[in-house]
Amino acid sequence: MVFGFNSINVNSSQNKNPDPSVAIYPALHASDAPYSIQEQPLRSAIFVPADFNHGTDGKTPVILVPGTGSYGGEAFDHNFAKLLRASTFGDPVWLNIPGRMCDEAPKNAEHVAYAINYIAAVCGGKKVAVVAWSQGNLSTQWALKYWPSTRAQVSNFVCLSADFKGTVQAWGLTPLQGAVPGTPAVWNQTMNSNFIATLRSNGGDSAYVPTTSIYSATDEVVQPQFGSHASAYMKDERKVGVTNCELQVAAFMKPAGLAYSHEGVMYSSLAWALAEDAIKNGGPGSYERINMASVCMHRKAPGLSLLDATQTQALSGWCLKSILLFTPKPWRELALPLYVASEKINYVAEEVVIPAKPVVSVVETEIVEAEVEVVAN
């Protein structure tokens, strides 16, 4: 047992996975960016449960990508991994990236790009779904942008608490370049970072595959998260299909639309319902296809307990610890990969006023509301 999780093995980054049937390294397609990481560590970071059926049972393979400070095992064990493994439509694997996603975001994206092409290959060419949390969304979008071969392998992309525009809260850990050292991935997630500007330039702010982005206005880690200013808001210039779901708007004044923290979105009943709809239908989640009246009357997804909610909420402390302990810490954002050196940057960060909100009360409110729901049921 580790931090209440089922097994320490779910966090393993030294997994033995077989060779794929087709060569995907050093590139699946000539248009793909070059990898800086060797194939062995890329492949060994993919955790494939022993009962994974490789798409032979009709279920969609689902790749779970964690956020800064976490492995996929610990991030998803008490929410999406549990729900998917009990479902009739999704079969999850997850990424345990060395450094717990604290290293440079472009390096984390290499793991995502490789995992997409690898899982699709070992599943006989079956398309995969990607569900990501926090920075995992940035790394996935970067992978889709700079490894074009991945796009044809992905049926849909479900984003939980994404920070596609970065977050103003990152300045708390990286206040000033050259003055205080910071964790590489946190530098990348500041709103004025070169990473964010490069990702969002030249169409990177728009979906490459059908995308469902779910986020909370009361997120204590990522801000802004409201309206069209939301960092998680995804555009749809390519018309592939996008659903943007701000929980407090979609489920206004209902239990599913009350306060959710950065981690809490992962056990949200509405987030799960939209993800289920997206994975089943191979496109963005649709409000019209789910029973909003029923779904929005619950805080947690069916199948999750109060323990699952509290364990998911506890991730915030462990993630912060990993971020603070990560070394080495550079004094400024590190240079981006050479493959983006010639890209013209046409994105300018927005200046948005963030409404004040009591962060601690958001977390406390979540737990109290979850407890009330358990008692009521």
Question: Could you report the per-residue pLDDT of 246-263, keeping only the tens digit for each?
Answer: 999 999 999 999 999 999
Q: Which residues pair with 235 in a beta bridge?
A: 206
How distant, in Å, are the alpha carbons of 119, 146, 179, 304 from that of 307?
31, 39, 41, 8
How sure is the predictor about 371, in pLDDT bands with cuts at 50, 70 and 90?
very low
pLDDT digits 0-9 by tens, 109-136? 999 999 999 999 999 999 999 999 999 9
Assign 170 a pLDDT band (cuts: 50, 70, 90). confident
Going along the chain from its start, the domains and CATH numbers come out as 8-376 (3.40.50.1820)
Amino acid at the residue 114: Y
Q: Is residue 5 scored above 50 in pLDDT?
A: no
In this model, does residue 231 exceed pLDDT 70?
A: yes
Return the residue matching tokens 């990481």: 37
Confidence grade of residue 351 (pLDDT, cut at 50, 70, 90)? confident
pLDDT tier for residue 364 given thresholds of 50, 70 and 90: very low
Query: How many CB atoms lie under 10 A from the CB of residue 346?
Result: 10
Name the token pair of 367.
């737990």
Q: Which helix (H) or strand (E) holds 128?
A: strand 128-133
pTM value is 0.93
| Whether pLDDT at 2 is above 50 | no
Q: Exposed, middle or buried by CB within 10 Å (0-12, 13-18, 19+), for 253? A: exposed
For residue 60, pLDDT beyond 50: yes
Q: Judge whether residue 329 has pLDDT over 90.
A: yes
* Token digits of residue 229: 């200013």
Q: How many Cβ atoms sit within 10 Å of the Cβ of residue 61?
A: 25
Binning pLDDT at 50, 70 and 90, where does residue 8 land?
A: low
Q: What tokens were used for 21?
A: 């049937």
Residue 349 has pLDDT above 90, yes or no: no
Residue 362 reports pLDDT greater than 90? no
